[in-house]
Structure 1
C-alpha cells in the first residue's frame, strides 16, 4: 500500500499549481536555472519543521531523504545555493504565499455566526552582531535593535489576517494605517496605536475599536452611564466623552463624534484601565472583556517564537531574515490547515510535534504493515494453541 509522507500531506495546504501561479504573476523564476522558488520554499519549510540550526545541517538533513524528493517536486540542495537565494531573492513570492494561505485558513476555519474581531500588535525581533549591524544599527531604538513584525490576528480562527515588517524605530501607527479595514468588524489594540485620524478611519469604515486612552488625553465628559449591579467594583466609571482638543500635536483632529470612556479596576495595580471605544451600545463588562482578549495576540507571538525558527537565522541580510520569518508564518498556516483537514482535537503545538516526529514517514503505510503483522501474529498464536491443545 503506497501512501504519502507527513511532509507531503502538510504541503497539500499549498498546492504546487497555486504556488506556480504566484511565481508566474511575479515572473520570479525568469533567471532561475536549477534552484527555483518551489525548491526554495520546500527547503525553508523543512528548515522550520526540522529546526535546522544552520545551513550545513539543513543540507545534510534534507539531502538524506532524497528518495522522497521526487514526490515533493524538488531535488537535493546545496547550502551555498540556499544562502545565495536567501540573500539575493526578493521575498515577494513568499509574501504572496503567506497572504494566500491566510485567506484560505480564514475561510475554512471561520464560523459565520462569530463576530469579526481582530487584534493588532507588533513584536520585535532582535538582530545584533556581525552583518546584522550593517542594516539594523541606524534604525535601532533605546530598547530594540532589529525589525518589527506587525500582525492583525483573527480571534475566531487564531490566524493572522494581515502582516507587515518595519524597522525598529518606526511608530506602530504608521503601519496601522496600512491595515485593510472591514465593515462591521471590531479592532482591538493597545494605546501605542493612539492616532485620532486612524480612529476616524475605522469609524468611517463602519467598524468599532477598543483601545486605551493615554494618560494625558484631553476629554470633555458629556454624560455618565449607569453601571450594572453585577459589575460594581470592577467597572468604576462608564462615560460618554468627546475629545477636547481640535488640533492635538498641531494636526487637525477629524474625530468629532462621542466616545465611550470605560474605567476598569485592576486588582494589584495602582492605576485602573481607561478604555476608549466608539461602541456606544455594548455594556461596560463586554467592552472590558474584548480588551482582555487582546492577550491572545501576545500568546501568538510567544508561540511562534518558542516553536518556530525566528530567533536564529540562516542568513544575516535583511532579505534572508524576511524570508525566514515569512516561512515561519507559512509553516504555522500549513500546520493549522493540516489540523483542520484531519479534524485533529489536539492543540496546534501537539499537531506540530506529531508532524515533526513523522516528517518523512509514510504513516498510513506503516499503520497498514502494523495491522498486517498483528493479524499474522494472532493467526500464528491460534495455530500454536491448537497444536498444543
Structure 2
C-alpha cells in the first residue's frame, strides 16, 4: 500500500483494489454505456464510504456527498440524488463487486505470515451461513417463510489467528445449509474444514474421504455409531474418549464406507453432557482437534462484526442486485480494513482500526498511522488491590501507641500506605 502522504487514508485504502480489472468488467458488461455522471466506479466509492461510515440510507449518502467537500473531492462528484443512487444499485449486476472481493481477498491471503495454524495444519477453513430476515412485501424474491423474506449468506472464512472471508454465496433463506456445502469445500488435502451439525451428510462425508478432503464437525445426538476401537486421552484435565468408528445404520443401507474418528469431550457448560466431534483427521492430536473445533466460533464473530460495525442489517435497495451488491461491498470493506491494519503494523482490534479510519479518513495515511500507534497520554496503574490486613495492623499499632487523633481527621485515608 502506497504511503504517499499527499493522498488521504481513504484514497490509500483503495490502492489494493485492481481498478484495471474493475474497468475491464465495466466495459465488458457495458455498465457505463449510457452513464455520464454516476459511473460505476463513483457508485462503488460511495458504497464503500457508506459501509465504512455505517451510513443508514441513500438519503443520508446523498446528503454527505453534497455537503462534505472532502468526500466530494475523493469521489469527484459534487452532488447526487438518492433516486439516482437507487436506480444504479438496481441496475448494476453484483458480479462486479463479487469479482473485486475475490481479487482483494486473494491479495490479503497472499500477505499472511507464518503462524501456529499454518505451521501445524496448513489451513483452517470454517464454514457456516447467516440468515438476514427482511419484510416480504419489500423483498418478494427472497423466499423464506410464509410471513417474511430472508437471505442466507453462505460463507467460508480462513482463520489463522485473524479472520479472512474467502468465499461467499448469497441465496434466498429457504433451503438447507448443506445444499451449498460442496461449493464451499476446497479441494486441498492440507486444509481442514470445520462446520456445525447443519452440514452433516454421510454421503458427502464418504465423498470427502475418498477425495482426501479433511473435515471436522459436531455429531447429531441421534447418530448411529459402530465403535471399532477406542482409547482415553486427557485434555485440559478431562478424560476424552478417542474412537475409530463407522457411522450410519447398515440395516437401512445408510452406513458409511469410510471409517471416521470421534472425540467425546465432557461439556463444561452442561455437566453430565458430552460434545461429540466427528472427523476424518487421524493425524493431529485430540487436543489440537478440540482446539480447531472451538475456533468454529470465529465465523460467528465475523457475522456479528459485519452486522454491527458495517451496514448489512438494513439495505439501501429492495432488488436482488442492490442487496447482493451491498453485501459484497461490506465484505470488500472488511478485507480493506484488515490490510490497513497490517499497513499500520498495529495490534489494535479491527474495530479500533475502523474507529481511527473514521476519524482520519481525509487525513494522510502517515497521519493515520502515527495516531493509531500513538502511546496513550495516561497510563493506568490498574486496579489497586487493598491489603486490608496490613491496614488493620498499622491502625492497631497507632492505637496502641496512642496516636488516635488522626483517626478522627476528615483527611485520614487508611488506604494510603
Cα distance 1:145–1:276, how it changes in 2: closer, same or farther (>3 A)?
same
User: Is the partner of 1:177 in helix, strand or coil?
Assistant: helix
Please, which of 317, 334, 338 is the counterpart of residue 315 of structure 1? 317
Partners of 1:124 and 1:168 within 8 A in 2: yes
Please, which of 131, 134, 143 is the counterpart of residue 127 of structure 1? 134
What's the TM-score once normalised by structure 2's chain length?
0.79
Q: Does residue 5 of the first structure (1) align with residue 14 of the second (2)?
A: no
Q: Distance in 1 between matches of 2:361 and 2:32?
A: 28
Q: Does residue 213 of the first structure (1) align with residue 210 of the second (2)?
A: no
Structure 1, unaligned runs of 5 or more: 369-389
Please, which of 45, 50, 60 is the counterpart of residue 48 of structure 2? 45
Q: Does residue 117 of the first structure (1) align with residue 117 of the second (2)?
A: no
What corresponds to 1:353 in structure 2? 355
Task: State the superposition RMSD in angstroms.
Answer: 2.7
Cα distance 1:365–1:220, how it changes in 2: closer, same or farther (>3 A)?
closer
* Distance apart, 1:363 and its partner CA: 5.8
Cα distance 1:102–1:205, how it changes in 2: closer, same or farther (>3 A)?
farther
* Distance apart, 1:129 and its partner CA: 5.7
Q: Distance in 2 between matches of 1:319 and 1:119?
A: 27
Q: Distance in 2 between matches of 1:340 and 1:13?
A: 13
* Distance apart, 1:54 and its partner CA: 1.4
Please, which of 242, 246, 249 is the counterpart of residue 245 of structure 1? 249
Q: Distance in 2 between matches of 1:230 and 1:119?
A: 23
- Number of aligned positions between the proteins: 360
* Distance apart, 1:109 and its partner CA: 2.1
Partners of 2:177 and 2:199 within 8 A in 1: yes
Q: Distance in 2 between matches of 1:302 and 1:170?
A: 22
Partners of 1:223 and 1:241 within 8 A in 2: yes
Partners of 1:212 and 1:276 within 8 A in 2: yes
Q: Distance in 2 between matches of 1:365 and 1:120?
A: 38
What's the TM-score once normalised by structure 1's chain length?
0.84
Structure 2, unaligned runs of 5 or more: 371-417
User: Is the partner of 2:184 in helix, strand or coil?
Assistant: coil
Give structure 1 regions of 4+ aligned residues with deviation exceeding 4 angstroms.
66-75, 229-232, 363-368
Please show how residues 1-389 of structure 1 align to structure 2 within 5 Å: 3-66=6-69, 69=72, 72=75, 76-111=79-114, 113=119, 115-128=122-135, 130-132=137-139, 134-136=140-142, 138-140=143-145, 145-156=149-160, 157-181=162-186, 182-225=188-231, 227-229=232-234, 233-235=238-240, 237-245=241-249, 255-269=256-270, 270-362=272-364, 364=366
User: Is the partner of 2:203 in helix, strand or coil?
Assistant: helix
* Distance apart, 1:19 and its partner CA: 2.0
Q: Distance in 1 between matches of 2:298 and 2:369?
A: 37
Q: Look at both structures and tell me which one has the larger radius of gyration over its CA atoms.
A: 2
Cα distance 1:73–1:104, how it changes in 2: closer, same or farther (>3 A)?
farther
Q: Distance in 2 between matches of 1:40 and 1:76?
A: 12
Cα distance 1:145–1:130, how it changes in 2: closer, same or farther (>3 A)?
closer
Partners of 1:65 and 1:360 within 8 A in 2: no
Partners of 1:224 and 1:238 within 8 A in 2: yes
